[in-house]
Amino acid sequence: MTEAGAAERSPALEAVFERVHPPTTFEETVERLGTAIRLGLLAPGIRLPPERDLADELGISRSTLRQALTTLVQSGHLVSRRGRSGGTFVSDEPPLTQDEPSEPLGSEHARAVLDYRVTVETGATVLAAERATDDDLALLEALTGEMGATEGARFKVYRRADVRFHIGVAEACHSPRLVAAMTEVQGQMTDLISRIAHPDEVLSRSNEQHVDLVALLHGRDVAAAVQLMREHCAATEHILAGLMPEAMEYQ
């Protein structure tokens, strides 16, 4: 079984294990690990580091960590196994989104999330077109292939690769702060789009744009890449407006 601390970590996963700051250490630990699980940064079946190591890494007490882990076990994000090969593992089928949204899904809230997304995504695209390395682009290409292979599969499978793709665009900027912003906005977007249907045709079209974006990043075509990302965001807004008309109005 793979352990979260065993393999080389991406910048996004490094942010998950940064030190937690008081006074909300328990709440922040639950939020950080829960979001990482929902976004697929901590993959299903992966084993978390031992409690002592994880508590030291997060800079919190073991009792606080145990409280946070217990909460995530109860919510279905984690499972605890005893025995020689035991430990704390990410559930094989963790919740994709929160059962009880922290905010009502009104049009004002949805509009704010979508506006924030446009700002982060287009800004990240500018820098990715300027700074992406061959390794960065190879990862993005691999993720488009992963999404392309999920036709007919559960949306959760596609969405986890989709999230990693967009975070990968931010990682290609080589700006930790931008990676954190992208991770935040993808969490908020997941809470929105998980409440609508996801026809294969919509997912196929979305991934075609992903493929085209990678080609533009390869060519360092900043203007065209930004325009495509804006269209990509607008397409999501249209789908939300069409499938969830009571929640928002497209403008």
Tens of pLDDT, residue by residue over 119-164, are 999 999 999 999 999 999 999 999 999 999 986 667 888 999 999 9
Exposure string for 67-84, b = 16+ CB within 10 A, e = fewer = bbbebbeebebbeeeeee
Q: Are residues 220 and 146 in the same domain?
A: yes
CATH code, domain carrying 163: 1.20.120.530
Using DSSP, state whether 224 is helix, strand or coil. helix
Residue ranges making up the domain that contains 186: 107-243
Average pLDDT, the chain: 86
Q: Are residues 16 and 76 in the same domain?
A: yes
Q: Are residues 76 and 127 in the same domain?
A: no
Q: Are residues 80 and 128 in the same domain?
A: no
Closest listed residue to residue 193, CA positions, set 241, 122, 131? 241
Residue 1 placed within a domain: no
DSSP of 60-115, one letter per residue?
--HHHHHHHHHHHHHTTSEEEE-STT-EEEE-SS--SS-SS-SS---HHHHHHHHH
| Domain tally, the chain | 2
Q: Are residues 222 and 122 in the same domain?
A: yes
pLDDT score, position 92: 92
Tens of pLDDT, residue by residue over 197-242, are 777 878 888 999 999 999 999 999 999 999 999 999 988 888 887 6
Q: Are 18 and 59 in contact (CB under 8 A)?
A: no
Q: Are residues 130 and 193 in the same domain?
A: yes
Q: Are 68 and 33 in contact (CB under 8 A)?
A: yes
pLDDT score, position 96: 64
Query: What is the average per-residue pLDDT within 77-86?
Result: 88
pLDDT score, position 4: 67
> Cα–Cα–Cα angle for 105, 184, 220, nearest 5°?
120
Q: Are residues 63 and 119 in the same domain?
A: no
Q: Are residues 43 and 119 in the same domain?
A: no
Query: Which one has a higher pLDDT value, 217 or 246?
Result: 217
Task: Identify how many contiguous H helices and E strands the chain contains and give both numbers.
Answer: 10, 2
Q: Are residues 80 and 113 in the same domain?
A: no
Query: What is the average per-residue pLDDT within 25-51?
Result: 88
Residue 249 placed within a domain: no
CATH code, domain carrying 71: 1.10.10.10
Residue 178 placed within a domain: yes
Distance between CA atoms of 109 and 207, rounded to whole angstroms?
Answer: 26
Distance between CA atoms of 171 and 213, rounded to whole angstroms?
Answer: 15
Q: Are residues 122 and 237 in the same domain?
A: yes
pLDDT score, position 2: 65
- Does residue 99 surpass a pLDDT of 80? no
